[in-house]
Structure 1
C-alpha cells in the first residue's frame, strides 16, 4: 500500500517486512493493468443507471405529486406497443427516473420501454444493451463467455487479499495515517505518501471487495447457494395469458394489505405458470428484490403464496447480499456515491502503485550511475 521507511526495507530481514514488501510490489506490478481495468469498470458500473439517465432523454422525467398505479404503467406500455410481450415492470431508480418496462418485440429483440410514473405516458424505448449492461458485463466477465469470464475476474480477489494483508504488514502503525499530509519535497515521497493515504482510507472497502469477489469465485466454481424457493403456481384454467392492468392493481393492493412492510419494486405480469409475481423490499435487509415476493393467480389476482427473505438459510443470505454490498445499491444514490468514491480510490491505488515502482527503479538507476561515476573518478585520481 505504500513505500516503507528505511527501517521497513532493512535488507538484513529478508523474511520480514522486506519479503512482504516484495510480494506486495510483485503482485501489484504483474496485475496492475488487469486489476485497474476491473476496478475502473466496476466503479463506473456503480452509477451505470445514472449514466444511462444522462445518455437517454427517454429515462428523464419531471417529478410529480404522486405516482400512478402499477396497472396504469402496464396499460401505458401495452397501449404504445400492443404487439410487444411485456415480462416485467421495474420501479424507477429515483424521483427523476422513468419506470422501466422489459419487453420483447415480435422479432425477438429485447427492448426497454420507459413510462413516466407520474403522468402515465410512454417517453420512448431503448435497446436492452445500454451503458448499464455494457459496464456490468465488462466488469463481471470481460465480455467473455460467463463460464470462463466470471471465475477469471473473480480470481482477482486472491491478489486483492494478498495486497491488503501485505500492506498492513509493511505499513507500520497504519491506523495513524488517516490524516497524514503527503510530503512534497520529492516526487517519490509525495506519491508514496499519497498511495498510503488512499490505501488507509480504502482498507474497509478493499476488504469488502475481496470478500464479495471471493464469494463470486466460489459461486462460479459450483459453490453457489440454491435460489430462493419457488412460489406455488396459480391454478389458472387453460392458457390465461398475461395479467391485465386491473388484475395487477388488485394484486398490488392485496400484497400491501397482507404485508404492510412490503415495498413493491418489480411486477412480473407475464403469467408464467398462471402466476403473477410481485417482488420487493421488506424486513430482510441487504437482499435482492427477488428474495421477498408474493404470487397471485394471473386470471383473478387471488393470493397464492409468499416468499420472505428472512426465511432463507445462511448460505442463501450470503448469495443474496453479495450484489448489494459489492455495488452499493441498497440505500439509494448517497450510498452509490460513497461506493463510487472508494472505487475511484481503489483504481488510483493500482495506478500510483505502478508509478511508485517506476520511480523506485529510476532512483536505483540514478544511484547506480552516481556510484559508477564516483568509482571512475577515484580510479582516475589513483
Structure 2
C-alpha cells in the first residue's frame, strides 16, 4: 500500500466516523430498550386482559365464521375490515368500521378514528375485550409508553418520518464505510500486538487507541451485519412503495374497476384461511383483509402468510382468494428485494433466538458504544495533529515519496 493510499484510507475513516458517530450513538442507546420492549411492557404496564378460560389441552379453535358472525351481531350495519389471529395467545382480533368511506375520511382528520376492534377467545368465540369507543376520552399514556415511543421514533426516523428514515439509512451506509476503512487502516497494526493487548503503561492516548482497536475488532462482524441490515431496513417504505406500483398494480389490474360486494354475500372466512394455508405450504396464515381495503382488491380476501420458523417468520407471501366464490386466485411471493429486506430484519433485531440472543445483542451494542466513545476521545485529543504524524504514531514508517510503498511497521510504534 502506498503512502498516498494510506493517507486516503485514514481520511475516509476519520470523516466517515465523525459524520455518523452522533447518530449511531442515538441509535445504539435507543436500541437497548427496544430489544427488551416486550419484557419492559410486561413489567411496567402489564396485561389487563381478562384471564382465558381454562380448557382441556388440545381444545380446537372455534370456526372463524362463528367469530365473524358474532362481531357482526354486536355491530349490525358495520363492516369488518380484517381478521387477525394472535401470534402468542389463543385470541382473534376482528377490526370493524362504519364503512370503508369512513376510514378514508379519517385520513383528513388527525383526531378522528372510526375503526375499532373486538378481541375474541379463539377457542370459545367469547368476547374478551373491545377497544374504547371513538367518542370516549383518550386513555392516559403511561410513562413507559411515552419513553418507549420516544426511543422507537428516535431509533427509526429521528422524528422526521420518511426523510429521517432515509437519513438514518445513509448513516448506516457511512458506518459500514467507516468499519471497512478502519479494518484496512488498523489491520496491519493490530497484527503486531497480541490480541487483547491494551498498553496501559504508556500515554493515555495509546490506551484509548488500543481499546478502540480491540473493541472494534471484537465486534467488527456483528457491527457490519447490524449496520448493513439497518441501512436496508430504513429503505422499507420506498421498497414497499415500489412493489405496490409494479407487481401489486399488475396483479390487481383486472379487478380494479369492479364494485366491492356486500359483506352479506361473501364466502367463508374460515375456508379462505384454509385455502391460503394450502396455497403456501410451510407457512402460517397471520391475517385476512376484506375486499375494499386499502392496497387490496375490491373482490378478494387478501391473506398474509409467513414462514413458520424463527428465521423465516418475516418472509411474507400474500394470497388472494376470491371473496365471491371462495376460489384461490393465486399466491404471490414477494420480489427479491423485499425478501432480502425481510431476511435482514431478524439479523438486525436479534429476535429469532429468544432471550439469550437478545442479551448477546445488548452486550455487543454496549461494546459498540464503547468503540464510538473511544473514537471521539481519540479525535478530540489529536484533532490538531497532522495525518502523517498520526499514522507514524500507529507504527507506520511513511516514505516521503507520495507514490512509494509504505514500509513495514516500526518496532517502536507497535510495542
Q: Give TM class, smaller chain.
A: 0.5 to 0.7
Matched, 1:34 2:23: yes
- Which residue does 2:180 correspond to in 1? 165
Structure 2 distance, partners of 1:258, 1:339, is 36
SS, match of residue 268 in structure 2: helix
Task: Provide Cα deviations, 1:337-376, integer angstroms capped at 9, x if missing partner.
Answer: 554444444334323322344456799xxxxxxxxxxxxx
Q: How does 1:337-356 map to 2 (within 5 A)?
A: 337-356=359-378
Task: Provide Cα deviations, 1:185-241, integer angstroms capped at 9, x if missing partner.
Answer: 576555444433332232223323443455467777889752454666699986323
Q: How many residues align?
A: 345
Query: Do the aligned partners of 1:267 and 1:277 also contact (CA within 8 Å) in 2?
Result: yes
1:336–1:243 CA distance, 2 compared to 1 (3 A) = farther
Give 1:322 shift. 4.3
Normalised by the size of structure 1, how large is the TM-score? 0.65
Normalised by the size of structure 2, how large is the TM-score? 0.61
Query: Do the aligned partners of 1:247 and 1:299 also contact (CA within 8 Å) in 2?
Result: no
Structure 2 distance, partners of 1:76, 1:333, is 38
- Which residue does 2:320 correspond to in 1? 295
Matched, 1:202 2:226: no
- Which residue does 2:156 correspond to in 1? 140
RMSD (CA atoms):
5.0
Matched, 1:305 2:322: no
1:266–1:324 CA distance, 2 compared to 1 (3 A) = farther
Give 1:292 shift. 1.1
- Any stretches of 5+ residues in structure 1 without a counterpart? 1-12, 364-382
Structure 2 distance, partners of 1:22, 1:262, is 49
1:256–1:29 CA distance, 2 compared to 1 (3 A) = closer
- Which residue does 2:261 correspond to in 1? 239
Structure 1 distance, partners of 2:151, 2:93, is 18
Which one of the candidate residues 110, 113, 117 is aligned to 1:108?
Answer: 113
Structure 2 distance, partners of 1:178, 1:78, is 71
Query: Do the aligned partners of 2:280 and 2:305 also contact (CA within 8 Å) in 1?
Result: no
Which one of the candidate residues 303, 328, 336 is aligned to 1:314?
Answer: 336
Task: Provide Cα deviations, 1:241-273, integer angstroms capped at 9, x if missing partner.
Answer: 3898x9322222333345442212223246541
- Which residue does 2:282 correspond to in 1? 261
Matched, 1:279 2:304: yes
- Any stretches of 5+ residues in structure 2 without a counterpart? 103-111, 133-137, 386-415
Structure 1 distance, partners of 2:129, 2:194, is 47
